[in-house]
């Protein structure tokens, strides 16, 4: 499989456009024409991970954290340059799936909540998409042609369905007055016409084009139409929230999570004996969402990278926090391997998860 095909399949599941605007995802190093002979999944693309790919004769690394992130001034020996040079010298490609994998419904947060044993997990903060409902009032005799032509222009489609219209009949009235050049009716007389209200959805960026075609296709001098702005929830977004298998104390939960995630340290804020039945989780650095999680009914907010003052604020506000370290996102290595096996359906034979420890912290 060529890298271009791999990127296109990945994009169908975890669209690169769904990443945060500040992020850097996609093919960071490589060539879209290159054949992919294997994939190594990793949390961080460290020097050792590159060596692992070389040893395993795998030419494509997919990492969660983008190696190239801030402005790169040079690619010399030393620092990240050493890793980038080693990748290029060995013709190894690097793909980053970062916040687009975080917000995916089966992504990093789903992997973490599954490991923690959260049941009935839902997306904590579903992303929304804005769109327009369009309604056009048009004489009955023009309806079929109008719908056909709007459909041909690519409007009124929803997923795998085209020609998604809804119509209702009604009486339209108007009185052409001096200066008008009416399609039907007499000057200065009220005309009643059986009209149809045709409704359909368009994407936000289609508005100008839709307006142009409505005016072009409508028989009236002054067509009547509305664009009603709406939003809908998507099945992707940050974090997961759900129920614990059974109610437990905060301390017992923190201890269980340490085992389930196999991490060397877990910290928590709040009364150790507080009873917890609903938990929200955001992998990596999720601080800022603790209040939102609390409002959505979570008894505890689980994330990494919690600073002293965040913890103190939470304690004062009465929110329970569990810090699972940013590195707990390592669960994405096996999780992404399983997803890639599903998505690629055998088109790449050699898909492996790195098991090297890339946690920059040591624990005593
Ligand atoms: Zn993440
Ligand atoms: Zn992260």
Ligand 1 center from residue 107 Cα (angstroms): 9
Ligand 2 center from residue 216 Cα (angstroms): 50
Judged against a pLDDT cut of 90, whether residue 11 lies above it is answered with: yes
pLDDT at position 173, please?
87
Ligand 1 center from residue 327 Cα (angstroms): 9
- The Cα 270–Cα 351 span in angstroms is 42
- The Cα 212–Cα 217 span in angstroms is 9
Mean pLDDT, rounded, for 165-171: 95
Ligand 1 center from residue 96 Cα (angstroms): 11
Taking the CA of 101 as reference, the closest ligand is: 1
Ligand 2 center from residue 252 Cα (angstroms): 26
Q: pLDDT for 220-267, tens place per residue?
A: 888 999 999 999 999 999 999 999 999 999 999 999 999 999 999 999
- The Cα 212–Cα 223 span in angstroms is 11
For the domain 128-233, what is the CATH code?
3.30.70.120
pLDDT at position 169, please?
95
Ligand 2 center from residue 329 Cα (angstroms): 6
Ligand 2 center from residue 58 Cα (angstroms): 24
Of 66-70, 84-88, 104-108, 121-125, the least confident: 66-70
Ligand 2 center from residue 83 Cα (angstroms): 19
Q: pLDDT for 274-315, tens place per residue?
A: 999 999 999 999 999 999 999 999 999 999 999 999 999 999
Judged against a pLDDT cut of 90, whether residue 184 lies above it is answered with: no
Taking the CA of 239 as reference, the closest ligand is: 1
Ligand 2 center from residue 37 Cα (angstroms): 27
pTM listed for this prediction: 0.84
Q: What are the structure tokens assigned to 21, written together?
A: 């605007």
Q: Is 97 exposed, middle or buried (CB count within 10 Å of its CB: 0-12, 13-18, 19+)?
A: buried
pLDDT at position 48, please?
97
Q: pLDDT for 138-163, tens place per residue?
A: 999 999 999 999 999 999 988 789 99
Work out the percent of the chain whose per-residue pLDDT is above 90. Answer: 89
Taking the CA of 99 as reference, the closest ligand is: 1
Mean pLDDT, rounded, for 44-55: 98
The pLDDT mean for the chain works out to 95
Residue 270, phi-psi category: left (phi > 0), alpha (psi -120 to 50), beta (remainder) = left
pLDDT at position 181, please?
82
Q: Could you check whether 3-100+330-353 and 128-233 share the same CATH topology?
A: no
- The Cα 18–Cα 107 span in angstroms is 12
pLDDT-based confidence at residue 4 (cuts at 50, 70, 90): very high
CATH class in words for 3-100+330-353: alpha beta
Ligand 1 center from residue 209 Cα (angstroms): 38
Q: Could you state, in order of their start, the residue ranges of all structural domains in the chain? A: 3-100+330-353, 108-126+237-326, 128-233
Ligand 2 center from residue 128 Cα (angstroms): 23
Taking the CA of 100 as reference, the closest ligand is: 1
Ligand 2 center from residue 64 Cα (angstroms): 7
For the domain 108-126+237-326, what is the CATH code?
3.40.1390.30
Mean pLDDT, rounded, for 20-47: 97
More confident residue, 182 or 212: 212
The single residue listed with the structure tokens 């949390």 is 43
């Amino acid at each position: 499989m060529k890298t271009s095909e791999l990127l296109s399949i990945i994009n169908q599941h975890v669209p690169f456009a769904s990443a945060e605007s500040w992020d850097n995802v996609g093919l960071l190093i490589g060539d879209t024409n290159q054949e992919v002979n294997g994939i190594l999944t990793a949390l961080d693309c460290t020097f050792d991970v590159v060596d692992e790919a070389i040893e395993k004769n795998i030419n494509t690394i997919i990492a969660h954290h983008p190696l190239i992130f801030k402005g790169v001034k040079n690619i010399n020996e030393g620092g990240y340059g050493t890793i980038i040079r080693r990748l290029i010298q060995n013709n190894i490609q690097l793909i980053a799936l970062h916040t687009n994998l975080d917000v995916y419904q089966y992504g990093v947060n789903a992997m973490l909540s599954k490991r923690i044993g959260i049941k009935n997990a839902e997306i904590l903060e579903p992303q929304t998409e804005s769109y327009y409902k369009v309604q056009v009032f048009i004489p009955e005799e023009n309806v079929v042609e109008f719908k056909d032509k709007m459909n041909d222009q690519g409007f009124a489609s929803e997923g795998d369905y085209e020609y998604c219209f809804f119509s209702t009949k009604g009486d339209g009235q108007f009185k052409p007055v001096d200066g008008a050049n009416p399609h039907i009716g007499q000057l200065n007389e009220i005309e009643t016409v059986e009209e149809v209200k045709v409704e359909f959805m368009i994407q936000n960026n289609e508005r100008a084009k839709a307006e142009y075609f409505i005016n072009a296709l409508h028989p009236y001098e002054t067509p009547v139409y509305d664009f009603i702005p709406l939003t809908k929830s998507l099945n992707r977004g940050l974090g997961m929230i759900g129920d614990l298998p059974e109610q437990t104390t905060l301390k017992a939960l923190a201890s269980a999570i340490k085992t389930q995630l196999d991490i060397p340290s877990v910290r928590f804020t709040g009364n150790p004996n507080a009873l917890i039945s609903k938990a929200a989780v955001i992998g990596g650095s999720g601080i800022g969402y603790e209040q939102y999680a609390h409002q959505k009914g979570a008894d505890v907010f689980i994330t990494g990278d919690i600073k002293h003052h965040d913890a103190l604020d939470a304690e004062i506000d009465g929110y329970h926090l569990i810090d699972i370290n940013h590195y707990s996102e390592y669960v994405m290595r096996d999780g992404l391997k399983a997803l890639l096996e599903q998505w690629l359906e055998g088109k790449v034979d050699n898909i492996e998860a790195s098991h090297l420890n890339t946690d920059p912290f040591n624990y005593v």
